Amino acid sequence: MNQPRRCTAIKPLLFMSALLLSAQAWAAQVVGTVANLSGPLLAKKADGTSKVLAVKSSVEQGDTLISEKDTYARIKFIDNSEITLRPNSQLKIDNFSFEEDKPEKDSAAFNLVKGGLRAVTGTLGKRNKEKFGMNTPTATIGIRGTIFIAEYIAPNEEAVAAYGMASMAAMSVSGYADVRSDMPSAVPLQVLPIRLAQVPGQPPAPGSGGLAPGLYVQVLDGMIHLTNQGGTQNFSAGQFGYTASFQQPPVILPNNPGIKFAPPPAFNTSSGPQGGSGNTSGSNAVDCEVR
């Protein structure tokens, strides 16, 4: 009489164990490899632990990659796509699913939390471009078979103040001689880049004041589109784009507003992990767990 009860009690436990094992397997799914590295790179795991990565280290679904000061890091994904992080950047791999013979299962979702990157489309993005998406704080980036650079500048008091001064100076020089002295309070700073973008040859962040807060993009090949609550804008090869916030529509800029992306020369090859930077030879020997 007791035997059926024991079997019934064991079944839920087995089911829960299977779910846990499945969740662990999903969290540990390898989606890429560190191909090149010029400094410290950290992977924050879904379980809250952190891992110091080296050349040839695996990158997993759910990882948040954090590049330190002066660190460029090139990640080669399993579909032969690439993302190169610039220094002081954070990128979360929300989801990446790719099987060579199962295109219907393709999925690539990233989240650029901070900083910038260069992305090169692989097989997934070429055969299922609508399955690729990169979220940022101001817009979602979609692709059309592409190489592009994206850089997100987070707002802070120092950056806003510096940009406000540079913007006012640029507007005066560019023919806005009637700008009132109370302009900064009359017009929100996030509107200024759009107005400046309408002045031919005038980037949104002139002089030495630095880039204004917001998302900047540069298309090197193919096409991308930025989408947010303000609308959608396409950008083709050779074009630069900007959006100040999730409510402001993306705009095409007449020239480079000051985007800089200069990884070591070895990063410009696609030869795989063996092309890593010699600057990291001391840190490549081990992977360290940090809790």
pLDDT tens sequence for the chain (291 residues):
555 555 454 555 555 555 454 444 445 699 999 999 999 999 999 888 999 999 999 999 999 999 999 999 999 999 999 999 999 999 999 999 999 999 999 999 999 999 999 999 999 999 999 999 999 999 999 998 789 999 999 987 554 555 555 555 544 544 444 433 333 333 344 444 444 343 333 444 433 347 899 999 999 999 999 999 999 999 999 999 999 999 999 999 999 999 989 999 988 755 433 333 333 333 333 333 333
This prediction has a pTM of 0.70
- Domain boundary pick from 197, 222, 253: 197
Do 265 and 176 lie in a common domain?
A: no
Do 87 and 176 lie in a common domain?
A: no
Separation CA 68–CA 171 (nearest Å):
36
Do 190 and 105 lie in a common domain?
A: no
Q: How many structural domains does the chain have?
A: 2
Domain that holds residue 139: 28-154+213-290
Strand partners, 215: 152, 243
The radius of gyration of the chain from alpha carbons, rounded to an integer in Å, stands at: 23
Do 86 and 135 lie in a common domain?
A: yes
Do 72 and 148 lie in a common domain?
A: yes
Separation CA 142–CA 233 (nearest Å):
10
Identity of the amino acid at 9: A
